[in-house]
Amino acid sequence: ILNVEQSPQSLHVQEGDSTNFTCSFPSSNFYALHWYRWETAKSPEALFVMTLNGDEKKKGRISATLNTKEGYSYLYIKGSQPEDSATYLCALRTGNQFYFGTGTSLTVIP
Amino acid sequence: SQTIHQWPATLVQPVGSPLSLECTVEGTSNPNLYWYRQAAGRGLQLLFYSVGIGQISSEVPQNLSASRPQDRQFILSSKKLLLSDSGFYLCAWTLGGIEAFFGQGTRLTVV
Pick from B89, B84, B50: nearest CA to B67: B50
pLDDT by residue, tens only, chain B of 111 residues: 668 899 899 999 999 999 999 999 998 888 889 999 987 766 778 899 898 999 998 877 678 999 999 999 999 999 999 999 999 999 998 876 567 888 889 999 999
Nearest to B43 among A43, A93, A102 (CB): A102
Mean pLDDT along residues A4-8: 92
Q: Is B57 helix (H, G, I), strand (E, B) or coil?
A: strand
pLDDT of residue B97: 59
On chain A, the residues whose CB falls within 8 A of the CB of B43 are 4, 6, 89, 100-103
- Does the pLDDT value for residue A53 go beyond 90? yes
Q: Is A71 on the interface with B (CB under 8 A)?
A: no
On chain A, the residues whose CB falls within 8 A of the CB of B59 are 1, 97
pLDDT of residue B99: 78
Q: Between residues 49 and 68 of chain A, which touch chain B (CB distance below 8 Å)?
A: 49
- Does the pLDDT value for residue A76 go beyond 70? yes
Pick from B38, B35, B28, B29: nearest CA to B50: B35
Q: Is A90 on the interface with B (CB under 8 A)?
A: no
- Which contiguous run of DSSP H or E holds residue A92? strand A86-94
Mean pLDDT along residues A3-32: 92
- Does the pLDDT value for residue A23 go beyond 90? yes
Mean pLDDT along residues A12-38: 93
**With contact defined as beta carbons under 8 Å apart, do A77 and A58 qualify?**
no
Question: Which residue in A has a C-alpha nearest to residue B88's C-alpha?
Answer: A41
Indicate the pairing of strand A104-109 with strand A10-14. Answer: parallel
Chain B residues interacting with chain A (CB cutoff of 8 angstroms): 32, 34, 36, 42-46, 49, 51, 59-60, 90, 92, 94, 97-105
When pLDDT is cut at 50, 70 and 90, the band that residue A34 belongs to is: very high
pLDDT of residue A1: 63
Distance between CA B69 and CA B86 in Å, rounded? 25
* B79 or A94, which is more confident: B79
